A and B are shown apart, each in its own frame.
Chain A
Amino acid sequence: MPIDRIYVYLATACFFGGFVFALQALRGNQSRTPRINLSVMGVGFILQCLFLAERGRAVKQCPVTNTFELLVFVAWCLVLLYFVIGATYRWSLLGLFTAPLTFLLQLMAILAPDPPPPVIGPVHFWNELHKSVSLLSYGAFGLACVAGVMFLIQDHQLKKRRLNTLSFNLPPIHYLHQATRRLILFGFVLLSVGIIAAFLMERSNPGHSLAPVYVIWAIYGGMVCYDFTRGMSARKGAIASVLAFVAPLVTLWIFAH
């Protein structure tokens, strides 16, 4: 088995482990997610980096030449953003909620076909920018979905007045709402840049293969416009962030088959 695939298997195991460790900590009524959770997420991230570096060297471009690589790249973006945002806001529990989604993406990657790298052509700047920035936007949408789930759990607990250990560990509900909004806006801007880059690509028919991306752009664009013009309630925003993420997932699923 090639070494780069081994990296992916090990990273997947790490994200699964991170999820299990955090879950155990919560069940054990520990007040904080253990450091081991953060450590395994970190190790998983390093393994993802090793995989992407290895593949990048092999294909001599951004390693998203097939579905397998694409899914690992999106999972990597998700973990990257988790480390940036989680560390900034000290949201230890974000790891708990990010780990299962990352694990799911990695699992989908493992199950997806991984044909040999295509014939290496010249590297186009706009093409590379389009791919990397668009997939990074998927990571932002994924994390917005995670924050949305955390919001909905807490909203349910507060409405029902059932507070438990999880309630004490979750970030304040208003912060979650703000994070969801900002991540969606951030992802939307990135995706817009990615689409502009796509137009500038040296391709005869850019609109054809980009149709799913346009759909995703329209969904998130609609959400951003609605929120800015009419104001979306925090709960509706959270539900929308969770439901909207189905679109990128479906797109990735389509690419996978």
Chain B
Amino acid sequence: MPLLCLGLSHKTAPVEIRETVAFTPKELGPVARELTDLPGINEAVVVSTCNRMEMYLGIDSRELAQEARSQAESWLRRRFGIEQDFPAETFFHHAGPEGVRHLFAVASGLDSMVLGETEIFGQIKDAYRAAHEHGATSRNLNKLFQEAFRVGKLVRNTTEIQRGSTSVGAVAVELAEKLFGDLAGCQVMLLGAGEISRRTAQSLQSRGASSIIVSNRNYDRAVEFAAEMKGRALAFDDWQKEVHAVDILISGTSAPHTIVHPEDLHAPLRRRSNGRPLFIIDIAVPRDVDPAVNDLDSVYLFDIDALEKIADEGRQRRQREMHRCEEIIAEHVRASAIFRPTTHPKLPGIDPAPSQSC
């Protein structure tokens, strides 16, 4: 049975268009079922995330492929009340093996905005489960999606496509885990109440860091900030008194000079009895923390440039792994028993390359 893949993604459409053509998670099953009611479409899975909306359709025969595609596009227009013509490259469609390759690449995170990210794998699983539960999938799409999950896992386990973090916040979390292992119970102190500090602290909180202390020159702002993060505020002059119990110190003030010096940490470090490391993230420009602090035992200081550099290395590492991932995918597309090109060399009227609008 031929496969048809229609949709749009962050590569073909800006967010203004993507936000108008999207389904909620609850709608995925019913809309997949609705698609199978269209003439020529036997099976359907709809994937909808903030970066893509894709429909994987199992169609009756290649002779009906063009008809099925028109039906699906018309249904999409009706569903979203699309009247205007989007730019030609907004929607893509892939047929047969090219559609299989596309699904494998998406499941492996190769088509994601952040190369190698893992969230998409779970989103495709959810989409497939929803379609399956609504009776929208059968033998062919079941086999195809199971194979896609297998390939996605294989790519992640045998390459470094998800190795290394690609954003400053993610690098901070990764380094914290490198130092402490489990972040549960870790105490975080924020010096300054800037946006990047808040986001970094929230990333750490999402991984289990439990206690947030906010210290800011403007105490009211610290109170407000602490309330937002379910932490507690601390007068700026008192941060040295409490830093001995802190595991991660995030500094992001707008001070024109350094505010954390080695001598500020000598006494607090002596009070830390169990040799726990102190991770200092200095995201301020100009820097808040004297670089000499990094020479202290058990203190690990990373400024914004160091974090950016690691994130950049992570991005480059993932980019270098692309070729290996594509080889694995190509091998599995070739080996895939369904949607083989020999059976369905080309669907009439369907060009495998991205093309016209809906």
Contacts and interface: CB of A to CB of B under 8 A. Distances in A.
A binds B: yes
B81 to A, nearest CB: 47
Given A161-B306, A174-B277, A168 B164 contact: yes
Interface in B269-318: 269-270, 272-277, 294, 297-298, 300, 302, 306, 309-310, 313
Contacts of A181: 275
A161 B300 CA distance: 9
Nearest to B309: A161
Contacts, number: 59
Most chain B beta carbons < 10 A, residue from A171, A181, A234: A234
Given A163-B310, A231-B270, A231-B275, A174 B181 contact: yes
Contact of A159 (B177, B294, B313): B294
B160 A171 contact: no
B312 to A, nearest CB: 12
B181 A175 contact: yes
B314 to A, nearest CB: 9
B178 A232 contact: no
Interface residues of B, number: 27
Given A163-B310, A168-B164, A174 B302 contact: no
Contacts of A165: 160, 163
Contacts of B163: 31, 165, 168
Contacts of B276: 174
Contacts of B310: 161, 163
B275 A233 contact: yes
A151 B187 CA distance: 23
A237 B300 contact: no
B177 A233 contact: no
A229 to B, nearest CB: 11
A172 B297 contact: no
A232 B275 contact: yes
B155 to A, nearest CB: 12
Contact of B277 (A31, A231, A234, A236): A234
Contacts of A171: 181
A177 interface: yes
B239 interface: no
Nearest to B162: A31
B260 interface: no
B180 interface: yes
Given A31-B160, A158-B300, A163-B310, A234 B181 contact: no
A104 interface: no
B275 A167 contact: no
A181 B160 CA distance: 33
A237 B275 contact: yes
Given A31-B163, A177-B275, A236 B179 contact: no
A29 interface: yes
A29 B77 CA distance: 48
Contacts of B181: 171-172, 174-175
A69 B14 CA distance: 72
Given A161-B310, A163-B310, A168-B164, 5 more contacts: A31-B163, A233-B269, A233-B275, A234-B277, A237-B275
Interface of B: 157, 160, 163-164, 175, 177-181, 269-270, 272-277, 294, 297-298, 300, 302, 306, 309-310, 313
Interface of A: 29, 31, 154, 158-159, 161, 163, 165, 167-168, 171-175, 177, 181, 231-237
User: What 5 A-B pairs are tightest by C-beta distance, nearest first?
Assistant: A172-B181, A233-B297, A234-B275, A235-B297, A161-B306
